[in-house]
Chain A
């Protein structure tokens, strides 16, 4: 990180609801100016963690510091954070301008300043001219912009976003992803976003924390998370992955020898110690398909095409091999309607040993 000073410190935070552990001993530091994503399947505790940052839930154990200040005894209305709710929560009985100005009115900002700041905030989210509209006259995307403006006008230290794009249709969602990044860069405020959508997290965030069953599994920048997942869960949750169960047969000069059922023994570069049962993984887009065996040094596997899923920009080929079904992605680079791969074709799948992941967890 360029700026190592953490604006948010989550220290050993646990949250229990009765006997259910929603967040389990979470530790996170979020740097000032960072676009940070909490990513995980539903029920993993990411929303609970966000609500603890906003002050709507209190940690059962552990501390939360915002801007170096302990938040244990600070009520939601006194915290230097603002939230964009999943449902937007735009007050239906107030006009756009009154919604955006609400947070300034309740804290006694002078009327002239409110008018000016509301105007700036609305311009920022491209809603200038919508001041007198009522929320019922707005589309879902516009309501979300109102919610954004209403939170940003407070100039918080941290903006919290709870699944902000989940209610939008696919096209609008993509446009809003780019716009949120642009917005974050222009205001320079730390954004913490909760999402279950990995594409959203990968495309927007500077760093991502992957959560599962209340635990933080890995915290890393998007590319590192995608290419170097630290566990089977993260490897499987982020993107698509071919996973094999393997067993370490030995090690030699920075490589481990791995035995996989139905495959020749493979040698994979791996720095750490590994022994016993491990997971072996390779991304579908790293796999090439060819009618002939691969050249030396590559890992090869023969199989028969069982299924081809066409997605327009690429096709996913499912190859039945002795080691199980593996998926390989083929970009549809040339403009043709004749499929390059047909059902029943006998093909070789091959990939670089360096593209192979060894997962000990």
Chain B
């Protein structure tokens, strides 16, 4: 049989369906959005094709810059928390006995088997005023109150005040960390799993403490996985829509919600398009930064 890669006809035939799909449903819409981003909004919300930079100027107004800035902050905090939680988890799985590795990985992936919407609603059930978390806290509170009553201090604490846990920025961050944690754990695990354990043993053998070995040997050698994982989490969090929509309050709107509003209620597609492209440019910027870092530390990765 001939090498199919040399057979241009066969190659084209096999590549055609996927290529056509991507061109029709991805490339063309993307070009459309790009064209729209320079268009004007008609009085009824129509798109009037033009060549104006007005949408971009609006996007850079303070009110919108504030939302963009807030989105970057929320994404950054989410990424840091994911790293703090995910690094020990990835290490734990990578250094677990061989027969435990796959079951543990499965547990990390398991949440993906349930719809994101349902998982996010579950967080509402946990965090709301009369949710599971507040009920649990109330139970503990009542026990303490009762105990204080027994030693002659009744009503010292007063009635239980449920915590406001939902519809604010911390709730959004909790939801984002929950959703994105596997995207950090999996690439980091893949890097740590491949890491030659004798590097760590060599460091200990040379007199370094466990902590020093972690800082000076394991972290630098795991850097490719750390960079991939954090970048993935950051980009996914930055563009998120569902989590702040369901768990966030009026002051935790992110750029994804802003864009959604332009294509929905506000009927301002040109402005929404401009915002979308700004988000895309931001993602490109971070990918470019990553590539620059990767080139600079070439030979370190392995």
Q: Which of B198, B212, B217, B221 has the largest count of A CB atoms less than 10 A from its CB?
A: B198
B295 within 8 A of A: no
Q: Return B219 CB to nearest CB of chain A, in Å.
A: 10
Query: Is B221 within 8 A of A102, CB to CB?
Result: no
Stretch at the interface among A38-46, A83-91, A216-224, A305-313: A83-91
A106 touches B209 (CB 8 A): yes
Chain A residues, Cβ within 8 Å of B208: 77, 102-103, 106
Q: Which of B207, B216, B221 contacts A107 (CB 8 A)?
A: B207
Considering only CB atoms and an 8 Å cut-off, how many residues of chain A contact the other chain? 26
A92 to B302, Cβ gap below 8 A? yes
User: Out of B196, B201, B300, which one reaches A56, CB within 8 Å?
Assistant: B201
Instruction: Evaluate contact between B207 and A91: CB separation under 8 angstroms.
Output: no
Q: Please give me the residue from chain B that is nearest to A100 by CB atom.
A: B206
Q: Which residues of A have CB within 8 Å of B299?
A: 92, 134, 136
Cα A155 to Cα B297 with chains together (Å): 32
A82 to B217, CA, bound (A): 17
Check A83–B209 contact: CB distance below 8 A.
Answer: no
What is the CA–CA distance of A87 and B202 in the complex, to the nearest angstrom?
A: 10
Cβ A87 vs Cβ B300 within 8 A: no
Contact residues in A for B220 (Cβ distance below 8 Å): 93
**Size class of B's contact patch?**
20 to 34
Residue interface bits B146-177, CB-to-A below 8 A is 1, else 0: 00000000000000000000000000000000
Q: How far is the CA of A92 from the CA of B199 in the complex (A)?
A: 9
Interface membership of A154, Cβ < 8 A: yes
Taking the complex as formed, is A116 at the interface, i.e. its CB lies under 8 A from any CB of chain B? no
Q: Given A85-B198, A89-B199 in contact, is the A76-B204 Cβ separation under 8 Å?
A: yes
Given contacts A83-B202, A87-B198, contact A106 B212 (CB under 8 A): yes
Q: Is the CB of A76 within 8 A of B201?
A: yes
**CA A89 to CA B221, docked complex, whole Å:** 12
- For the complex, give the distance between the alpha carbons of A86 and B208 in Å: 20
Which of A75, A76, A87, A89 has the most chain B CB within a 10 Å cutoff? A89
User: B7 within 8 Å of A by Cβ?
Assistant: no
Knowing A91-B217, A92-B221, A106-B216, the reply to whether A82 touches B198 (Cβ < 8 A) is no
- B191 → chain A, closest Cβ, in Å? 13
> Does any Cβ of A come within 8 Å of B135's Cβ?
no
Q: A196 at the A/B interface (Cβ < 8 Å)?
A: no
CA distance A151 to B198 in the complex (A): 14
> Which residues on B sit within 8 Å (CB–CB) of A134?
299
Which chain A residues (56-106) contact chain B, with CB distance < 8 Å? 56, 75-78, 81-83, 85-87, 89, 91-93, 102-103, 106
Please count the residue pairs between chain A and chain B whose beta carbons lie under 8 angstroms apart in the complex.
69
Are A77 and B201 in touch, CB under 8 angstroms? Answer: no
Q: Shortest CB–CB separation between residue B176 and chain A, in angstroms?
A: 31
Q: Least Cβ distance of A210 to chain B in Å?
A: 26
A15 within 8 A of B: no
Closest residue of chain B to A51 (Cβ to Cβ) is B201
Q: Which of B196, B207, B209 touches A103 (beta carbons < 8 Å)?
A: B207
B196 contacts A82, CB within 8 Å? no
B257 interface residue (CB < 8 Å to A): no
Residues of chain A within 8 A of B201, CB atoms compared: 54, 56, 76, 83, 85, 89
B205 within 8 A of A: yes
Q: State the Cβ distance, A148 to closest chain B Cβ, in Å.
A: 12
10 cross-chain pairs, A with B, having the tightest CB-CB distances, nearest first: A103-B206, A89-B202, A106-B208, A89-B198, A93-B300, A76-B204, A136-B299, A93-B220, A85-B198, A107-B207
Query: Contacts A76-B205, A103-B207, A136-B299 given; 19 further ones with Cβ under 8 A?
Result: A54-B205, A56-B201, A75-B204, A77-B204, A77-B208, A82-B206, A85-B198, A85-B201, A86-B198, A87-B196, A89-B201, A91-B199, A91-B202, A91-B203, A92-B302, A93-B220, A103-B206, A150-B206, A154-B207
22 contacts between A and B (CB under 8 A): A54-B201, A75-B204, A76-B201, A76-B204, A77-B207, A78-B207, A83-B205, A85-B201, A89-B202, A91-B199, A92-B302, A93-B220, A102-B206, A102-B216, A103-B206, A106-B206, A106-B207, A106-B209, A106-B212, A151-B206, A154-B206, A154-B207
A residues sitting closer than 8 Å to B (CB atoms) are 54-56, 75-78, 81-83, 85-87, 89, 91-93, 102-103, 106-107, 134, 136, 150-151, 154
| Residues in chain B within 8 A of chain A (CB atoms) | 196, 198-199, 201-209, 212, 216-217, 220-221, 297, 299-300, 302
